[in-house]
Amino acid sequence: MIESPDSEFENENDSQEDVIELQENIIEALPEDKSLVVSEDVFPDSLLIVPLYDRPLFPKMLLPVIISEETLGKVLLKELKGPLRYVGLVYSHEPEDDSLTNEPSIIEKLSKVGAVGKIVQAAKHGNDPMHIIVQVMDRFEIIDIASEDPIIRAKVEYITETGEKESEDELKAFSVSIINLIKELVQLNPLFKEELGLLMGRINLKDPATLADFAASMTTASGKELQEILETKSIKIRIEKALYLLRHELEVAKLQVKISKRVEDRMSQQQREFFLREQLKEIKKELGITKEGPESETDKFEARIKKLKLSEEAKERIGEELEKLQLIEPASPEYNVTRTYLDWLTILPWGIHSKDFFNIQRAARILNRDHYGLKDVKDRI
């Protein structure tokens, strides 16, 4: 068990693990569908705000949260000794207001809508960041910032979801579409299957609102896209947005599978060609048709290289091209390109220099002898 908050703050390097276990007594499992429901929670009007920097969290989820800010972790650790059980989970991001000239404050980075979470477990291991497990309960909107020194407390108003009766059939159609897309995603990406298995026993996917939140949380959409869904009060609009994100996720997953297969096929083809070329070399040796000695292309170039005074850069480059030539199939177009390049490199007069003659009169005589007219050009030369 943890020590008192005062002793915790005095000894920051204490290696003893501080663990808080909070018994969760208000979440009950329904035997019919194995989903979790919250039995008549009364949420506070003022919440301690926990900023989320990666992505927002959605209601009905039971998830871990890392408290990276040391000050916030200390305050949570201290207040968990008292009646505090609820925190406000709010996505923090850079504001889109281009008129801001200074670095935006933490208040300006906070979204207006968040989710209230009930802390069911908290752990502080030595100097590591504090970890909490929260049961995300409901949406809220920030009405006013009650305090921001050193941490944020906000007055909030809880959001009521809106669902039109005349759209029940449409909601059902959207729900079926989302479930079908999830089935396709599970087949393409094993990670979705694992995540789905973890959540299936804790949430009721028959509820369109919960299904929309769950579908959005499964995607790799940006934090701002997910925040837009979190802020949407209309269930119909929310599930439609979630369907769009899920469909985009499916297209990305299909593309990933296609790219992976293409790379795998290419690697397999390269390996196959390499082994076949090696086998061909051995067969030629056995049949005595392999050109040995200076007549082979490689030996010809190596014989030329020995006579040249090459720089280190040139030696390295020519060596790379020789290795490439040995691996390329002679019938390949790239073989001729590489051979021609090596031929050109090895016939250059490396290290051989001629004496320079800077005689203007001689140059003028040659120009007048070999080229008629062009006085302006000759003068310029």
Domain CATH number, residue 77: 2.30.130.40
* Residues 301 and 247 grouped into a single domain: no
- Where does the pLDDT of residue 105 fall: very low under 50, low under 70, confident under 90, or very high at 90 and above? confident
CB atoms within 10 A of CB 77: 21
> Which of 158, 177, 205 delimits the end of a domain?
158
- Where does the pLDDT of residue 58 fall: very low under 50, low under 70, confident under 90, or very high at 90 and above? very high
Per-residue pLDDT of 285-318, as tens digits, reads 776 655 543 347 777 888 888 888 888 888 888 8
- Where does the pLDDT of residue 227 fall: very low under 50, low under 70, confident under 90, or very high at 90 and above? very high
**Domain that residue 116 falls in:** 5-158
List residues bridging with 141 in a β-sheet.
113, 157
Extract the tokens encoding 348: 């250059």
* Residues 135 and 172 grouped into a single domain: no
Count up the domains in the chain and report the number.
3
Q: What is the pLDDT of residue 101?
A: 59
Query: Is 62 a member of any domain?
Result: yes
* Residues 136 and 36 grouped into a single domain: yes
Residue 118: what are its φ and ψ, rounded to 5°? -100, 125
Q: Helix, strand, or coil here: 338?
A: helix
Per-residue pLDDT of 34-53, as tens digits, reads 444 444 568 889 999 999 99
Residue predicted with more confidence, 17 or 305: 305
Query: Is 129 a member of any domain?
Result: yes
Residue 336: what are its φ and ψ, rounded to 5°? -65, -40
Query: Is 301 a member of any domain?
Result: yes
* Residues 101 and 225 grouped into a single domain: no
Query: Is 311 a member of any domain?
Result: yes
Domain CATH number, residue 236: 1.20.58
Query: Is 224 a member of any domain?
Result: yes
Contacts of 42 (CB under 8 A, 6+ apart): none
- Where does the pLDDT of residue 113 fall: very low under 50, low under 70, confident under 90, or very high at 90 and above? very high
- Full-prediction pTM beyond 0.85? no
